Structure 1
Amino acid sequence: MTDRIDARLIDTINHHQPVRITPAQAGGPIHTRSFFGRWRTARLIGTGGLLLLFFGTAWLNWNGRQAVLWDLAGRKFHIFGATYWPQDFILLSALLIIAAFGLFFITVLAGRVWCGYACPQSVWTWMFMWAEKVSEGDRGQRIKLDAAPWSLQKLIRRGAKHLLWLAISLATATAFVGYFTPVRELTSDLLSLEPGLGAAFWLACFTLATYINAGWLREQICLHMCPYSRFQSVMIDSDTLTVAYDSARGENRGPRRKDSLPRETGLGDCIDCTVCVQVCPTGIDIRDGLQLNCIGCGACADACDSIMDKMGYARGLVRYTSERALAGGRTRWLRPRLLGYAGVLLVMIGALIWALAERPLLSLNVTRDRGLYTRTVDGDIENSYSLKIINKAQDSRRLLITLENPGAFHLQGPRALTLQPGEIRDVLLSVSLPASTRLTEVAPLRFKVVDADDPDNQVQTQSTFLVPQAL
């Protein structure tokens, strides 16, 4: 135990105060206590919306198909009325970059509020903790159950907990895989115990991953595997809102009668009840100051407010505040770094919206035949090409194939075609050049596909035309 004692504990020894090891320092399982409060309510509303979005969106239909579906076999991604193809993955990259900058902005503004309120690891951990409470009871009952010898009652309670965990994990895996394969067919096959081999494999993988991460690893993911906790400390500043303990008001801490006033006892407002530690999902003591392990969930603030209410003291001994405000100053909301992130974020969001609005509904890829060239019976030079055309629109399109600035070139092959919504068509054609035309060895050539009903909907692709050197 000696190697677990840190500088704070040594200080408490020197001041003849009781030595306490937090659950995180003890290294055992963390059993959290039930609590209520405004931050818990806010988290329940927020996570409830996110869970509804995650579990419900896959079940929405749009024009006879699943509204949101990543069709890996068809290499296309449906989002309501839009269909995206591998050529559009640059938009996904832009979306991920925007999400990263959004996280930076939130971190500078309010610390690790993402971790405490919206991170899937935290959300599912809270759900698994609820399952623990339902099956094994509140904190004190779970601690006693851990220490009790194995019995039929303990086996039933533990079995019920793990069954709930597995049920949540399987529901999570089904919802997730349902975004990559039609969720109605997947659920029907699962209920009839006839899922395909591929679907069964991925369901098992994601069920196991959810069960292990939210049930067994929990806070260890946040503390040791997630990189965000490591770099978030360099992003916050003295004006960042974090969950903090007001030591100037709380110290010296100590127990006292409910009707006693702090000034009469020579103590601060903190009664040292450790409820703030008991509700912490990562098992830390917020009174030790800003820590790497704090996920900013506000559980300790809710717990402390409830104790302050019972004691008749003002709320806010533990609260969301900034280091500057704790020191007696005023939090600065308009500061260069925060404004910089906000500005970049707005520009990138605007650029993404513009890119989505201006995204061409046609895709064209041109591949020249591997051969050099051929000569026709008339002596003309001919190159062969393969055009892959994709109709990204949600309705059929009549398309025209032309050459941009054809000059002496002649296009031979299909010139008009109709593509159904989402259809991919491979078109073989050739381009010829009269033998009398003199060109260099390689000539640029640009193919163009135009929507006959909407000329503004067009796409062009550059290629080359090979001719003999002596021509």
Structure 2
Amino acid sequence: MQTAVSGSVVDQQKIDIKNIPVHVEVHTPSANKAPEYAPRNRIYVRAVKGLHQAVRRYMGFVFMGLFMLLPWLQYEGHQAILLDITEQKFNIFALTLWPQDFTILAWIFIIAAYALFFITAFYGRVWCGYLCPQTVWTFIFIWFEEKIQGTRNQRMKLDAEPWSGVKFFKKAATHFCWLAFSLLTSLIFVGYFTPVADLFMQFFTLEASFWAVTSVLFFTLCTYGNAGWMREIMCTHICPYARFQSAMFDKDTFTVTYDEKRGENRGPRSRKDKDYKEKGLGDCIDCNLCVHVCPTGIDIRNGLQYECINCGACIDACDDTMSKMGYPPGLISYTTEHSLNGKPTRVLRPKLLGYLLVLLAVCTAFAWTLYSRVPLEMNIIRDRGALFRTNNDGLVENTYTLSISNKSQHTVVFDLSVSADASFNWIGPHQVSLNGGETGSVPISLALDPYSTKERSLEITFTVQQQDNAEVQLQQATKFFLGNR
């Protein structure tokens, strides 16, 4: 009886086991069965005119002009901007930076980072749309396409046609222009790191060094591949900025946005149709021009997307359509989420003010670093063979080597001196003349009467001062040893 009851209890506590299939379905990339796995389609960007594109083009012209002009400028007989890596010095007009001035370069990069954060928090990803080299070069390459192959529809038709002499000529001319422009800009870029005039002459006369030629060809292929072939892939898949930009966005950030309440429902209609709202239609006529002009190929009407670079092309295209239809502009505009929801936009908010305060603090630190910078460096090297010795006159001598670097661009004469609580005999030169960027070693011996002090060592300070400018001076302390007393 007990056995039967026990068995019944065990049956009631038994957990049912369910067999789970272990078959795994593998989804193979197939454009026919799974469109989401389809390979990248070529984006044919349509030309558009408008305020934002005019601003983008003018900014591109200005900064591209500066990029090409700056390395050719001369300052006091030398290239104004020359980042000479082999000599380990950066000449920027009157300023010369050495490896010891790494702090200044660090401040520059920090300022650029926080300026980018501030602009992004305020006006979205406008850096990408207006000044990013990838975007600037891409639009230049698209301009070559338009001038050689025609409009968007003509380019699509040309690609769909079978190969012919005309098609080959247009394609070859396009790629030739791409490569020529890439080579030109690569030479200019490498010219920031080596004398640009010599680089151009030696490159085309086949006399340039191996590393110069390699650098030019490398950047030429990179520019040609990025702006000619990869284009939006750089923005959507490779550039990390697209991935973390949303961390700087909030509901008061101005971004390119489609007004869904005003635009939906979409639908075509004639210009004379004034009763479209009674039919349940919004202002969007579903012309798809906003998609055709987008360099990354997105539909801004689907909402904010990380691929959007805030170039404003869709705004200009939509405003032009609204003008032709007789509708008010602004269906697509730079606006905020709060503004779309009928709430006031807070421009001065904690996040933006935080970025601004940090940016101002970093700029102040950078300015102070430049102001307090002394174009001079000194290292004191003691005689490691003997800390001290007694000469024939019974004086205790210490020998030092002053390694002095002239970090300016001019020849400078420096005065050398020492200060201490005792009177030393100076053995060695009191002056040294150094060319711009030169480092010199000056051996100095100091002698002291051992009975003039009871100390075993003394604190002394060497001073190096520019002869014609007392404000340029550097002091460094060291020890003078007298030995066991």
What TM-score comes out, normalization by structure 1 length? 0.89
Indicate yes or no: 2:153 matched with 1:140.
yes
- Specify which of 417, 440, 455 is matched with residue 425 of structure 1: 440
1:430-449 alignment runs, 5 A limit: 430-436=445-451, 439=455, 445-449=460-464
Indicate yes or no: 2:287 matched with 1:273.
yes
| Alpha-carbon separation, structure 2, partners of 1:341 and 1:322 | 19
| Alpha-carbon separation, structure 1, partners of 2:259 and 2:470 | 66
Report the alpha carbon displacement of residue 447 of structure 1 after superposing the two structures with TM. Answer: 2.4
Report the alpha carbon displacement of residue 449 of structure 1 after superposing the two structures with TM. Answer: 0.4
2:141 touches 2:178 (CA, 8 Å); kept in 1?
yes
Give the aligned partner of residue 9 of structure 1: none
Give the aligned partner of residue 205 of structure 1: 218
| Alpha-carbon separation, structure 2, partners of 1:216 and 1:291 | 22
The amino acid of 1:183's aligned partner reads: V
1:368 touches 1:463 (CA, 8 Å); kept in 2?
no
> The residue matched to 1:232 in structure 2 has which SS?
helix
Distance change >3 Å, CA 216–CA 434, structure 1 → 2: farther
Report the alpha carbon displacement of residue 443 of structure 1 after superposing the two structures with TM. Answer: 6.1
Distance change >3 Å, CA 235–CA 276, structure 1 → 2: same
Distance change >3 Å, CA 278–CA 429, structure 1 → 2: same
- Specify which of 297, 305, 314 is matched with residue 311 of structure 2: 297
> The residue matched to 1:457 in structure 2 has which SS?
strand
Report the alpha carbon displacement of residue 230 of structure 1 after superposing the two structures with TM. Answer: 1.2
Give the aligned partner of residue 15 of structure 1: none
Deviating more after overlay: 52-61 vs 368-377: 368-377
Count of residues in correspondence between the two structures: 451
- Specify which of 170, 193, 198 is matched with residue 180 of structure 1: 193
Give the aligned partner of residue 204 of structure 2: 191
Distance change >3 Å, CA 81–CA 227, structure 1 → 2: same
Give the aligned partner of residue 386 of structure 1: 401
Indicate yes or no: 2:133 matched with 1:120.
yes
Deviating more after overlay: 186-195 vs 293-302: 186-195
The amino acid of 2:298's aligned partner reads: I
Q: In terms of Rg, which structure is larger?
A: 2
Give the aligned partner of residue 376 of structure 2: 362
Indicate yes or no: 2:468 matched with 1:461.
no
Q: CA RMSD in A?
A: 2.4
Indicate yes or no: 2:141 matched with 1:131.
no
Report the alpha carbon displacement of residue 153 of structure 1 after superposing the two structures with TM. Answer: 2.1
Distance change >3 Å, CA 466–CA 136, structure 1 → 2: farther
Distance change >3 Å, CA 283–CA 458, structure 1 → 2: same
1:403 touches 1:446 (CA, 8 Å); kept in 2?
yes
Give the aligned partner of residue 337 of structure 1: 351
Distance change >3 Å, CA 93–CA 444, structure 1 → 2: farther
Deviation per CA, 1:79-128, whole angstroms, max 9, x where unpaired? 12222222222111111111111011001100101110011111111111
Report the alpha carbon displacement of residue 360 of structure 1 after superposing the two structures with TM. Answer: 1.1
1:372 touches 1:466 (CA, 8 Å); kept in 2?
no
The amino acid of 1:193's aligned partner reads: L
| Alpha-carbon separation, structure 2, partners of 1:224 and 1:383 | 64
| Alpha-carbon separation, structure 1, partners of 2:339 and 2:265 | 20
- Specify which of 84, 94, 110 is matched with residue 71 of structure 1: 84
| Alpha-carbon separation, structure 1, partners of 2:71 and 2:236 | 32
> The residue matched to 1:45 in structure 2 has which SS?
helix
Distance change >3 Å, CA 211–CA 339, structure 1 → 2: same
| Alpha-carbon separation, structure 2, partners of 1:110 and 1:197 | 44
Report the alpha carbon displacement of residue 428 of structure 1 after superposing the two structures with TM. Answer: 2.5
Report the alpha carbon displacement of residue 225 of structure 1 after superposing the two structures with TM. Answer: 1.6
Report the alpha carbon displacement of residue 221 of structure 1 after superposing the two structures with TM. Answer: 1.2
| Alpha-carbon separation, structure 1, partners of 2:428 and 2:417 | 11
Deviating more after overlay: 93-102 vs 81-90: 81-90
| Alpha-carbon separation, structure 1, partners of 2:137 and 2:383 | 53
1:15-34 alignment runs, 5 A limit: 27-34=40-47
| Alpha-carbon separation, structure 2, partners of 1:69 and 1:422 | 14
Report the alpha carbon displacement of residue 208 of structure 1 after superposing the two structures with TM. Answer: 1.4
- Specify which of 85, 101, 106 is matched with residue 98 of structure 2: 85
| Alpha-carbon separation, structure 2, partners of 1:78 and 1:129 | 35
Report the alpha carbon displacement of residue 337 of structure 1 after superposing the two structures with TM. Answer: 1.4
| Alpha-carbon separation, structure 2, partners of 1:132 and 1:255 | 31
Indicate yes or no: 2:181 matched with 1:168.
yes
| Alpha-carbon separation, structure 1, partners of 2:239 and 2:255 | 19
Report the alpha carbon displacement of residue 219 of structure 1 after superposing the two structures with TM. Answer: 1.2
1:145-164 alignment runs, 5 A limit: 145-164=158-177
| Alpha-carbon separation, structure 2, partners of 1:297 and 1:132 | 20
| Alpha-carbon separation, structure 2, partners of 1:38 and 1:3 | 45
Q: Any unmatched runs of 5+ in structure 1?
A: 5-20
1:101 touches 1:345 (CA, 8 Å); kept in 2?
yes
Distance change >3 Å, CA 3–CA 386, structure 1 → 2: same
The amino acid of 1:321's aligned partner reads: T
Q: Any unmatched runs of 5+ in structure 2?
A: 1-26, 30-34
Give the aligned partner of residue 8 of structure 1: none
The amino acid of 2:420's aligned partner reads: N
Deviation per CA, 1:187-228, whole angstroms, max 9, x where unpaired? 122232322222111111111111112112211111122111
Report the alpha carbon displacement of residue 37 of structure 1 after superposing the two structures with TM. Answer: 0.7
